[in-house]
Amino acid sequence: MDTENLVKMANNIGQFFSAEPDTEAAIGGVADHLKRFWELRMRLAIIKHYQTGGAGLSVISKAAVARLVAEQEKLVNTGDG
């Protein structure tokens, strides 16, 4: 999976949701889009990129990926995932 392309796609999604006046809603919109429309391998690749610094990710996109990580960790910690 080409990380540079994933970053570009995530940022395009972030740009779309940046029109949302509520920043938390924008971040949630990006995170929801990534969960609903990206294959698992794409999500895992962008998470790995985020965990190594997330170079090139916009603020909204980086926050959305951070939210995915937090949700994943919550599932693991509660034994539901």
What was the pLDDT predicted at 80? 58
Q: Kindly report the pTM of this predicted structure.
A: 0.90
Q: What is the DSSP string of 16-51?
A: HHTTSSSHHHHHHHHHHHHHHHS-HHHHHHHHHHHH
pLDDT digits (tens, 9 = 90+) for 29-54: 999 999 999 999 999 999 999 999 99
Taking residue 28's Cβ as centre, other Cβ atoms within 10 Å add up to: 16
Q: Cβ(43)–Cβ(35) under 8 Å?
A: yes
